[in-house]
Amino acid sequence: MKWMKISSAANSTVKGIKKLITHTRVCREEGRTIAEGIHLAKELLNRNELIQKVFLREGATKNSEISAILHSLDSLSVPCIELPNSLFNEISPVENSTGIFCEILIPDNTYLNPCEDIVYLDGVQDPGNVGTILRAALASGVKYFAASISSAYFWSPKVLRSAMGAHFQCHFVQVDTLKKLKQQSRLRCLVADARGGKSLYELTWDKSPVLWVFGSEGQGVSDDALQQADSRVFIPINPQVESLNVAMAATVCLFERKRIKDCCSEISTN
């Protein structure tokens, strides 16, 4: 690594990174984003071709985890930039950072694999929810994701942080609309809708993959998305609660799907 120290907020590298941290639009346009914290830095050791720059708080190398990460990255020819405490805190994407974040390239979007389940987010705006859904979906075995433009950007620093490394195992499909995604994938489209439809536990399943759609926090799924539904699906809940948060609802749906898949594959292999 190429070590350097920067102490001026007016430095062009500092200004550039500040823009990336503050404006998701800039991440989208420039194909770069910020991976904050030790956990993501560790995940990046397996994808170190993505790392463009490493930013450290002055003295952060005293942290043994950070120093081990830097040791593993030593052979890369990327800059490692040390910032004084005050400047680091000023631009850090989170309060109370452990003292490391990386600028990384956003990997290219992938093409569709129509043999696997896909999750489509229809206006899920909260980055924490999007990240949580990615992590839970990957835990349930889903690897393909797409989203409406009204959803939080998958590769925004906040989504990246909240998914805790799931991104590097996931594939992101670029599509203009759910309609096109459905046409291209030819998958059965299950739209989660708290207002009604079929109970999650009364769906009939076969071995074909499905295209899940989860809607926005306030309004739920859009009318456009509903039009693509082969089934509208609801989770039966205690009527004392208005609705589940979208990340919880997605988790319940995806793990029920996993339960059914695992149990079918056991039956078919027995």
Give the chain's count of helices (H) and strands (E).
10, 12
Does the protein bind its own copies through residue 205 (CB under 8 A)?
no
Binding to its own copies (CB under 8 A) within 45-64 occurs at none
- Contact residues for 135 (Cβ-Cβ < 8 A; gap 6+): 162, 163, 164, 166
DSSP SS3 for 100: strand
What is the nearest approach in angstroms of its own copies to the Cβ of residue 239?
Answer: 10
Tell me how far apart the alpha carbons of residues 131 and 121 are, in angstroms, rounded to a whole number.
11
Q: Cβ 223 to its own copies, closest distance in Å?
A: 25
Among 68, 78, 203, 235, binds its own copies (CB under 8 A): 235
3-state secondary structure of 154: coil
- Nearer CB in complex with its own copies: 224/262: 262
Q: Which residues contact 62 (CB under 8 A, 6 or more apart)?
A: none
What is the distance of C-alpha 212 from the center of its chain?
A: 16
Residue 187 to residue 208: CA distance in whole angstroms: 8
The answer to whether 240 contacts its own copies (rule: CB under 8 A) is yes
Taking CB under 8 A as the rule, does residue 251 contact its own copies?
yes
Which of 184, 230, 262, 265 lies at the binding interface for its own copies (CB under 8 A)? 262
Does position 203 bind its own copies by CB under 8 A?
Answer: no
Contact call for residues 145 and 119 (beta carbons, < 8 A)? yes
Is residue 138 within the footprint of its own copies (CB under 8 A)? Answer: yes
Chain residues that interact with its own copies, rule: CB under 8 A: 132, 135-136, 138-141, 164, 166, 169, 201, 235-238, 240-242, 244-245, 247-248, 251-252, 255-256, 258-259, 262-263
